[in-house]
Structure formats: C-alpha cells, structure tokens
C-alpha cells in the first residue's frame, strides 16, 4: 500500500507501518512529495510496482477507486489521468464511513457525519468501507479502541467470539435464524448483561446490491442457507454505557463486519484476515 504526503504528515504515519504489517500483512510505503513536485514520477513508480507485483501471480492489476468522488486538485487529477492511461482493472469503492464521539449508527444505511473524529481516552472509532468489483459488492468494518476501559475491552472480545460463531454457522442447509442465534448464545454465556445491546441482525445477503432484500440473518428468518450465497456478516453492540465522565465517551458502540461466502464445505471470509483487536493506547 502506498500513500503520498508531505514530510510532516509522512512522519506521523511511521507508526502505521509495523502495525499494518503485523495485523494484515501489507507493506506500507510512504512517498514524500516536495511542494514543487507534481507527483508524476512517484505515481509512475507506484504503477510499476503494481504491475511487477501482479506479474508474480499472473493476475491483471486491480486498483481501488472512489467512483463517487471527483478528483480535486492537481495531484488527484493527475492520478486519475494516469490511472486511466494505465488501463488497470478498477474496483469502485464507496467513501469510507467513520463514526465517533458517542454518535453511532450500526445500520447498513449509516453515513459519516460532519463532526471531527473524537480521539481521547476511552473513545471509540468505527470505520466501514465497501467496494464493488465486476458489479458485485463487498463490505468490511472495524472498531478502533483508544485506551479502552475494561467494559469496552470485554464487549469487543465477546463481539469477536459472537461474530466468529455467526460465520461458522453459515453453512449449506442451516437457517438464517440459526446463524443469528449462534451469536446470541455466545453473548448470553459470556456477557448476558450486554444481550440487550446486541444488534437485532447479524448481517444481510450481499451481491449485486449492497443489501439484497429478503434474506437477513435475524432470529425470525427460516430461510435455508445455500452454497454460493454471500453475506455481509455484520454484528455489533449498540449504545454501551461506559460509566466515563466525558459526554462523548459515556455511550459507545462496537461493530465488526466481513464479507462471507458460503462454500460447499463451509464459510470463507473475504479477505481472510479477521479477528484483529485494534487498541490504541
């Protein structure tokens, strides 16, 4: 993964390199662009690296692209121009959704608000991002805990186990309600005091539409799961009372979401990295 920044911002990203490598494997390369530089040479270097890496696996290069956001400024306009010239396969990505400061919405229709991210002790930041490739949608969401207190840490730990139970229950022949009940069982066993805060669904079917109607992973659905189905496995705890004094951390939410494909022999999470505990002290 490569990013452009001035020297000051580049230094701030140094801490990300090790954490990203350990968590999900990619090398983060930060390119420092001088004020007088249009960035063209750096872009060419990135494109060469993408082509070289793709050549190792025999795959055509695929580059993520925020299709709904027009490029603003000379740098982004040049990037868009070069991206078109290179003729890469482009995967459309929706703008990432960030939530913090005590205002959380765990519904699939949630959007970012205009407030700055709140970054203080015991604060929580949620981030979700979707992508569309060859007309098919995917989604991933993660929770960032900043110097979490015991309640927040416990809630996130239970959520990890509950989401894993949901994913393991996504097998041919089982019911959608059974997948949700798998999460409920974990919460009732590990943290019954949090059961009332659990989302009422463990996700929805995803495909040509981000949220395909008619198949939700909730406690009432008797729909039978089949191989080939794909789900946005999304689960969370809403409006947890943390007992802190700051009004923006008194009420928090935690959430996880992954794209899951039901195979003949069981579920497959795409991408395969998950279960990551992200706690920033």
Residue 197 confidence class, pLDDT cut points 50, 70, 90: very high
Residue 127 sits at the vertex; the CA angle it makes with 197 and 177, to the nearest 5 degrees, is: 45
Tell me the whole-structure pTM to 2 decimals. Answer: 0.75
Check if the beta carbon of residue 171 is closer than 8 Å to that of residue 217: no
In the predicted structure, residue 171 carries a pLDDT above the cut 90:
yes
Q: Domain 97-280 is of which CATH architecture? A: Alpha-Beta Complex (3.90)
**Tokens representing residue 121 in the block:** 């002790």
Mean model confidence pLDDT for the chain: 85
Residue environment code for 56-92, b if the CB has 16+ CB neighbours within 10 A, otherwise e: eeeeebeeebeeeeeeeeebeeebeebbeeeebebbe
The boundaries of every CATH 3.40.350.10 domain in the chain are 2-92
In the predicted structure, residue 14 carries a pLDDT above the cut 90:
no
Question: pLDDT above 70 covers what percent of the chain?
Answer: 85
Q: What is the CA radius of gyration of the chain?
A: 20
| Averaged pLDDT, 78-98 | 78
Return the number of other C-beta atoms located less than 10 Å from residue 45's C-beta.
13
Superfamily of domain 2-92: Creatinase/prolidase N-terminal domain (3.40.350.10)
Burial of 107 per CB tally in 10 Å (0-12, 13-18, 19+): exposed
Residue environment code for 162-182, b if the CB has 16+ CB neighbours within 10 A, otherwise e: bbbbbbebbbbeeebbbbbbb
In the predicted structure, residue 100 carries a pLDDT above the cut 90:
yes
**104-152 tens-digit pLDDT:** 999 988 999 888 999 999 999 999 999 888 889 999 999 999 999 999 9
Residue 26 confidence class, pLDDT cut points 50, 70, 90: confident
In the predicted structure, residue 23 carries a pLDDT above the cut 70:
no
pLDDT given for residue 56 in this prediction: 52
In the predicted structure, residue 215 carries a pLDDT above the cut 70:
yes
pLDDT given for residue 256 in this prediction: 96
The boundaries of every CATH 3.90.230.10 domain in the chain are 97-280
Check if the beta carbon of residue 198 is closer than 8 Å to that of residue 185: no
Distances in Å between the alpha carbon of 44 and those of 50, 73, 78, 102? 10, 18, 11, 42
CA distance 115 to 233: 27
CA distance 174 to 115: 42
Residue from 40, 46, 32 nearest 74 by CA: 40
Which H/E stretch holds residue 165? helix 150-169
**45-74 tens-digit pLDDT:** 888 888 777 665 556 677 776 665 666 778
In the predicted structure, residue 2 carries a pLDDT above the cut 60:
no
| Averaged pLDDT, 186-209 | 96
CA distance 259 to 233: 6
pLDDT given for residue 55 in this prediction: 61
| Averaged pLDDT, 204-215 | 89
Check if the beta carbon of residue 221 is closer than 8 Å to that of residue 176: yes
Query: Would you give the distance in Å from CA 79 to the centre of its chain?
Result: 24
Q: Which residue has the higher pLDDT, 251 or 80?
A: 251
pLDDT given for residue 95 in this prediction: 83
């Amino acid at each position: 993964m490569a990013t452009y920044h001035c020297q000051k911002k580049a230094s701030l990203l140094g801490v990300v390199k090790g954490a990203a490598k350990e968590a999900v494997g990619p090398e983060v390369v930060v390119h420092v662009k001088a004020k007088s530089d249009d960035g063209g040479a750096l872009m060419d270097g990135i494109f060469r690296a993408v082509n070289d890496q793709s050549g190792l696996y025999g795959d055509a290069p695929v580059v993520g692209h925020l299709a709904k956001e027009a490029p603003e400024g000379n740098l982004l306009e040049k990037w868009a121009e070069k991206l078109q010239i290179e003729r890469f396969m482009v995967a459309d990505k929706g703008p990432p959704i960030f939530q913090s400061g005590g205002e959380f919405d765990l519904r699939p229709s949630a959007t970012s608000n205009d407030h700055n991210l709140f970054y203080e002790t015991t604060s929580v930041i949620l981030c979700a991002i979707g992508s569309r490739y060859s007309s098919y949608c995917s989604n991933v969401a993660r929770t960032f805990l900043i110097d979490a207190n015991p309640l927040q840490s416990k809630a996130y730990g239970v959520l990890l186990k509950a989401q894993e139970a949901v994913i393991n229950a996504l097998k041919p022949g089982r019911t959608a309600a059974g997948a949700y009940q798998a999460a409920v069982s974990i919460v009732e066993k590990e943290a019954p005091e949090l059961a009332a805060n659990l989302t009422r669904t463990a996700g929805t079917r995803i495909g040509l539409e981000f949220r395909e109607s008619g198949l939700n992973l909730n406690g009432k659905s008797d729909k039978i799961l089949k191989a080939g189905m794909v789900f946005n496995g999304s689960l969370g705890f809403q409006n947890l009372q943390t007992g802190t004094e700051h009004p923006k951390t008194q009420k928090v939410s935690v959430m996880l979401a992954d794209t899951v494909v039901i195979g003949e022999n069981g579920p497959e999470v795409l991408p395969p990295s998950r279960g990551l505990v992200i706690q920033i002290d």
